[in-house]
Amino acid sequence: MENGFGDILRDLRVAAGVGLRELARRISTSPGYLSDVENGRTPPPSEKVIVEMARVLNVDKQTLLVAARKVDPELSQYVALQPQAADFLRTARDKGYEEEDWIRLSQLAAIAKLGKGKGEE
């Protein structure tokens, strides 16, 4: 069975040696709410709160964002400021891009030296 967001959050919190009350205090929420999230009684919090949780637990924010099926706020902002990015994502969705397509696109972008990194991996 696939672990839900709450299970993953609890595992990361315990591994980091951070108590439930301590995490709640450090992200400015109640221990009861955090317990409800960890036990799957309430949905994952906002992206902003998830990013703060990751910071406190010293884990990659992407781990928690993916578990919550949420998008990194930095990416949301980028897409909002780059209409072509939003158009491209709509096209990818409409054409049903799959994991292999995204891998190939990343490889092509590196070969074409697109972006400021100009081919860095």
pLDDT in tens, 31-42: 999 999 999 999
What are the residue ranges of CATH 1.10.260.40 in the chain?
A: 5-71
Residues 6+ away with beta carbon under 8 Å from 47: 65, 68, 70, 71, 72, 73, 76
For 44, the 3-state DSSP assignment is coil
Q: DSSP label at 37?
A: H
Assigned token pair, 116: 């400021």
For residue range 3-62, list pLDDT tens digits in order.
Answer: 899 999 999 999 999 999 999 999 999 999 999 999 999 999 999 999 999 999 999 999
The CATH number of the structural domain formed by 5-71 is 1.10.260.40
Instruction: Grade residue 2 by pLDDT with cuts at 50, 70 and 90.
Output: low
Backbone angles phi, psi at 71, to 5 degrees: -105, 140
Radius of gyration over alpha carbons of the chain, in Å? 18
**8 A C-beta contact, residue 65 and residue 52:** no
Question: What is the average pLDDT value for the chain, to the nearest integer?
Answer: 93
User: How does pLDDT run across 63-109, given as a tens digit for each residue?
Assistant: 999 999 999 999 999 999 999 999 999 999 999 999 999 999 999 99
* pLDDT above 60: residue 120: no
CB 85 within 8 A of CB 79: yes
